[in-house]
Structure 1
Amino acid sequence: MAVATGAFLIFAVSQVGTPGPANMALMATGARYGLQAALPFVAGVVVGKQLIIWPIGFGLMGLADRVPLLFEALKWISAGYIFWLAWRVANMRLDMDTKSAKAPGFKAGLLVHPLNPKAWAMTTTGFTAFVSAGTSTLNATALIAICLFTAQIVLHPIWTYGGERLARAVAGHTAEKYLMWTLAALTVASVLYVLFGGGKA
């Protein structure tokens, strides 16, 4: 009656560290504004994951079983929001020296994971695959929350910094447009894979 903490931490790192809507948003933000300016957004993304971990842990998925159409609708609304973000990314231009531009802040970051279908799938998998029957809900939820938080505070800034480094290499060049369109395309592809691929969460 416990959480397979070590195995789940490996799973969490594999999921948080791979491309998905959140990481594409972080990379694009880092590319546009740089890591330092993007840190409040990064913090919001990290904390935003907690906004779905705890409700899932305390029975939100039971409601999903009782009202499946509601959750199906929320899934597509969430995907639509991520697609809109991808469109904005595609039309961004880097110009990291622009003083008037303001990076998205903590509140914007809070929305990323609650509207990210990969985050919901990943968190649900954590509870269904790594928690033994009869485990205390509080203990299970706290351990999963801590593991994901740890993976995020390490890996999310790395994705953001990667975007900054890419930006410094291509800003002002022809490749800039293609970078932003590629980031947008990867964001859309990651959502479509979660919705239709049925593979990795």
Structure 2
Amino acid sequence: MGVAVASFLIFAASQVGTPGPANMALLATGAAHGLRRALPFVAGVVLGKQLIIWPIGFGLMSLAQSVPLLFTVLKFASAAYICWLAWRVARMRLQPGQGGDVPGIIAGLIVHPLNPKAWAMIATGFTAFTDPGTPALQATATIAACLFAMQCMLHPIWAGAGQAVAATVAGTRYERVLMVTLALLTVASVAWVLVPR
């Protein structure tokens, strides 16, 4: 009994490292404010995933099976919020190192609880990489530690990439194209999770 840690780490890297609502928010925040000023937001995003890993590990999956409508409503409400964030990204203009409100740790904390991709990734960890009968504490702690490690490595890279991109395209005609593309990628990542396969 246990979690297939090596396999799950590979899966986690593929999910945490690819475009999704959280990474698009990190990229946009890094682009607008620079990596250093974005670090509290990065920390919030990392810790925010823990807010859903532990409840899922200790029973939310059981609730999902007994009240599926509740989870369908939550899934689509979360998707609507992420689409609203994408709309804001599309309208954002890059001003690296300049004023404006920098999203902090609290703003970061709510990204993953409202991110359908995060819910799907965590649910997959419990259903596909965990042996039946594994104690809830062992399974949850293992999945939480794996995702925490991947996020600590990969999320700052997204924010740093945003800073690098902003230095290249801020104030150019490509700026709007970039921000609209990031917004569309965010919406596409949500749609990918929502569409039944």
Separation of aligned partners in 1, 2:36 and 2:117: 26
Q: Deviations over 1:16-53 (max 9, x none)?
A: 01111111111111111111111000000000000110
**Counterpart for residue 88 of structure 1:** 88
Q: How many residues align?
A: 197
Does 2:34 align with 1:13?
no
Alignment of 1:68-83 (within 5 A): 68-83=68-83
Give the secondary-structure state (helix, strand or coil) at the position aligned to 2:6: helix
Code of the aligned partner of 1:131 = T
Letter aligned with residue 176 of structure 1: E
Distance (whole Å) between structure 2 residues aligned to residue 196 and residue 26 of structure 1: 24
CA gap 1:139/1:25 in 2 versus in 1, 3 angstroms: same
Aligned to 1:50: 50
Q: Distance in 2 between matches of 1:119 and 1:195?
A: 12
Distance 1:185 1:197 in 2: 20
Q: Which amino acid aligns with 1:88?
A: R
Counterpart amino acid of residue 187 in structure 1? T
- TM superposition shift of 1:134: 1.4
Name the SS for the 2:195 alignment partner.
helix
Q: Distance in 2 between matches of 1:98 and 1:63?
A: 46
What are the Cα deviations for residues 107-160 of structure 1, in whole angstroms up to 9, with x where unaligned? 000010000000000000000011111111101100000000000000000011
Equivalent positions of 1:26-37 (< 5 A) are: 26-37=26-37
- Residue 197 of structure 1: how far off its partner (Å): 5.6
Aligned to 2:131, what secondary structure does the other structure show? coil
- Does the aligned pair in 1 maintain the 2:34–2:97 contact within 8 Å? no
User: Hey, what's the Cα distance between the residues in 2 that align with 1:195 and 1:83?
Assistant: 13
For residues 196 and 35 of structure 2, the distance between their equivalents in structure 1, rounded to whole angstroms, comes to 32
Where has structure 1 moved over 3 Å in runs of 4 or more? Answer: none
Deviation at 1:57, TM superposition (A): 0.4
Match of 2:189?
A: 190
SS of the aligned residue for 1:112 comes to coil
- Segments of structure 1 that go 5 or more residues without pairing to the other structure are none
Summarize the alignment of residues 95-106 of structure 1 with structure 2, pairs less than 5 Å apart.
95-99=95-99, 101-106=100-105
Distance 1:95 1:4 in 2: 44
1:178 aligns with 2:164: no
1:150 equivalent in alignment to 2:158: no
Aligned to 1:117: 116
Gaps of 5+ in 2: none
Amino acid at match of 1:72: T
Per the normalisation by structure 1, the TM-score is: 0.96
| Displacement of 1:2 | 1.2
In structure 2, the CA distance between the partners of 1:181 and 1:109, relative to structure 1 (3 Å rule), is: same
**Which residue number in structure 2 is paired with residue 39 of structure 1?**
39
Structure 1 SS opposite 2:110: helix
- Which residue does the alignment assign to 2:163? 164
> Could you tell me how far 1:9 is from its partner in structure 2?
0.8
The one-letter amino acid paired with 2:133 is G
